[in-house]
Homo-oligomer: A and B are copies of this chain.
Amino acid sequence: MQARLETDDLQENLSRVRALLREAERLAELRRALDALHAADIAYILEALPLAERLRVWDLVKADRDGEILVEVSDAVRESLIASMDSAELVAAAETLEADELADIAPDLPAAVIQEVVQSLPAEERERLREALSYPDGSVGALMDFEHLAVREDVTLEAATRYLRRLDELPNHTDQLFVVDREQRLKGSLPLARLIVSDLELDVARVMVPEAVTLHPEDPAEDAASAFERYGLVSAPVVDGQGRLIGRLTVDAVVDYIRQRSADSQLAEAGLLQEEDVFAPVLDSFKNRWAWLAVNLVTAFIASRVIGAFEDSIAQLVALAALMPIVAGIGGNSGNQTITMIVRAVALGQIQESYWMKLLAKEIGVALLNGVIWGTLLGAIAYALYGRIALGGVMALAMILNLVLAATMGVAVPWLRVRLGRDPASGSSVLITAVTDSGGFFIFLGLATVFLL
C-alpha cells in the first residue's frame, strides 16, 4: 500500500494507533484483574458469558491457571473451553493438577492428551490417577483426594509438630492428622484442635481419638454425604480392605457433590439429560432435551388412544371432552405429591419394609378425602354447566377413583423399585403421570359410557 501523505490521513493513522493502544491497555488491565481472581470466580465469569466472549476471556487467563479453572467450570462449559485448546495447551494445563483433580476432568480430555500426561507423571501420582479413575461416579473413591497427613502413633506430639513445620503449609481442610501404624493401617485421628491444646511431651497414641467415620472407596458417595451432614465432619479417612489409609474425603468435595446431585435431580425432573450451557447452540440443546420429549410423546399417544377408544361416547356427549382433562390432571398432581414424599423418605432411609402397607392405607385415606372434597366440588360445577346430575356424579366418582389409583401407584412404584434394587426416584414422575393420564381418561370415559349413554 502506498504511503498517504495528506495530514488528515496521518492524523487518522495516529488516532487509530492510539485507539488500539488504549484497547491493548484495557486488555492488559483485564488480564491483571483476572490474575487477581480466585479460580472459582473466573469459572463463574466464563459460565456467564456467551461462547465468543467466553473464549476471548479464556485466552487472557494465564496458561498456568488453565488447569485449576477447568476443574471448577461446569461440564458443559468445560467442553467448550477444551474444544478451543490444542493438545500442547491441554497437556500443560493437565500437568498442573493433582491426581484426583485430573481424574475429574479426564472424561472430557482427548485420549492422546491423557496418555501424554500419564507418561509424564511420577510413578506414585500415576498410581493414584489410575486408582481415582477406577472408581465409578457416585462412589467415595471418585470424590476422595490423596492430600492427607499421617503420623505414627508411637511418636510424641512434639515430633508430630516438627513434622508439620517442615511442610510449607498444610493441605486445605486439614482439621486432623490420621494416625497409622507401620503398615499404614488407620489407628485413629489427631484433631489439630487437640494437638494445639495438648502437652507436646505426650505420645500421639495418648492424645488421639477414635475416628468417628471411616470410609471405603467403594462406599456410595450419598452415604458419605449423609455422614458428613449428620456428624458435621470436615474430613474423613478412606481406607482399603485391609484398613490401610489410602486417602481422605473433605467437606468441600461433599458440598460439591450435594449441590451437583440436587442439580441433577432437578434437571432430570424437568427432562434435561444434563446441565446445559445456557448459551449452547440450538442443536446441543435439542440433543439434551429430545429424549424426554419422545418419552412423553409416547405416553401422550397412549392416552390419546385411550380417548380414541371412546370416540363414540364423546360424539354422543361432547361435554366429556371438556371435562376429561380435569380428572386426568388432578390424578397426576396428587400422584406426584405422594411419590415425591415417599421417594424422599426412602432416600432418607425412613421407610422400613414392614411399613409399606401402613403407608398405602394412609395415602389411600388422603386420596379418598381429596376425592370426596374436590370430586363433589367439580361434580357440582359439571352439573351447573351441563345441567345433568348424572354427569356430575360420574365426574365425582371418576375423580375419587383416579385419586385412589394415583395414591396406589404413588406407593407401589417406589416400593417395587426398592424391591428390585433400583433408584426409586428415576423417572417416577413420568411413570405416574402416564398412568394417571391414561387411567383418568379410561375411568372417566368408561364410567360415562356405562352410566350416561
Q: B50, B311, B348: which contacts A321 (Cβ < 8 A)? A: B311
Q: B165, B270, B314, B318: which contacts A196 (Cβ < 8 A)? A: B165
Docked-complex contact B173 and A234, CB < 8 angstroms: yes
Q: B251, B294, B373: which contacts A255 (Cβ < 8 A)? A: B251
Instruction: For A252, give the chain B residue with the smallest CB separation.
Output: B232
Q: How far is the CB of A289 from chain B (nearest CB, A)?
A: 5
* Residues in B whose Cβ lies below 8 Å from that of A350: 44, 47-48, 278
Using known A-B contacts A164-B196, A325-B307, A337-B292, determine if residue A351 contacts B169 with beta carbons closer than 8 Å.
no
User: CA A314 – CA B318 in complex, angstroms?
Assistant: 7
- Residue A436 is within 8 A (CB to CB) of chain B in the complex: no
Docked-complex contact B366 and A286, CB < 8 angstroms: yes
* Residues in B whose Cβ lies below 8 Å from that of A197: 164-165, 167-170
User: Size band of the A side of the interface?
Assistant: 35 or more
- Residue A383 is within 8 A (CB to CB) of chain B in the complex: no
* Residues in B whose Cβ lies below 8 Å from that of A57: none
User: CA A232 – CA B194 in complex, angstroms?
Assistant: 23
Docked-complex contact B296 and A333, CB < 8 angstroms: yes
User: CA A161 – CA B167 in complex, angstroms?
Assistant: 20
Instruction: For A342, give the chain B residue with the smallest CB separation.
Output: B278
* Residues in B whose Cβ lies below 8 Å from that of A294: 374
User: CA A297 – CA B399 in complex, angstroms?
Assistant: 11
- Residue A100 is within 8 A (CB to CB) of chain B in the complex: no
Instruction: For A355, give the chain B residue with the smallest CB separation.
Output: B50
Docked-complex contact B366 and A285, CB < 8 angstroms: yes
* Residues in B whose Cβ lies below 8 Å from that of A370: 286, 289-290, 293
Docked-complex contact B251 and A330, CB < 8 angstroms: no
Docked-complex contact B349 and A326, CB < 8 angstroms: no
* Residues in B whose Cβ lies below 8 Å from that of A232: 172-173, 250, 252, 255
Using known A-B contacts A197-B170, A232-B173, A330-B300, determine if residue A278 contacts B325 with beta carbons closer than 8 Å.
no
- Residue A85 is within 8 A (CB to CB) of chain B in the complex: no
Instruction: For A345, give the chain B residue with the smallest CB separation.
Output: B278
* Residues in B whose Cβ lies below 8 Å from that of A326: 297, 300-301, 303-304
* Residues in B whose Cβ lies below 8 Å from that of A337: 270-272, 289, 292-293
Using known A-B contacts A311-B319, A351-B278, determine if residue A304 contacts B289 with beta carbons closer than 8 Å.
no
- Residue A236 is within 8 A (CB to CB) of chain B in the complex: no
Q: How far is the CB of A279 from chain B (nearest CB, A)?
A: 8
C-beta contact mask, A141-182 vs B, less than 8 Å → 1, else 0?
000000000000000000001001101111011110000000
- Residue A97 is within 8 A (CB to CB) of chain B in the complex: no
User: CA A288 – CA B216 in complex, angstroms?
Assistant: 40
- Residue A263 is within 8 A (CB to CB) of chain B in the complex: yes
- Residue A256 is within 8 A (CB to CB) of chain B in the complex: yes
- Residue A358 is within 8 A (CB to CB) of chain B in the complex: yes
C-beta contact mask, A301-341 vs B, less than 8 Å → 1, else 0?
10111011001001100111111111011100110110111
Docked-complex contact B256 and A289, CB < 8 angstroms: no
Interface segment among A2-10, A128-136, A223-231: the answer is A223-231
- Residue A259 is within 8 A (CB to CB) of chain B in the complex: yes
Q: How far is the CB of A388 from chain B (nearest CB, A)?
A: 14
- Residue A84 is within 8 A (CB to CB) of chain B in the complex: no
- Supply 30 A–B pairs (Cβ within 8 Å), ascending by A: A41-B230, A44-B350, A50-B355, A172-B232, A175-B175, A192-B192, A195-B196, A229-B252, A232-B255, A251-B255, A258-B258, A267-B344, A270-B336, A270-B339, A271-B333, A286-B369, A289-B370, A293-B334, A293-B374, A296-B330, A297-B330, A297-B377, A300-B329, A300-B330, A301-B326, A305-B322, A307-B321, A308-B319, A321-B321, A325-B437
Top 4 closest A-B pairs, CB basis?
Answer: A232-B252, A270-B340, A262-B262, A40-B230
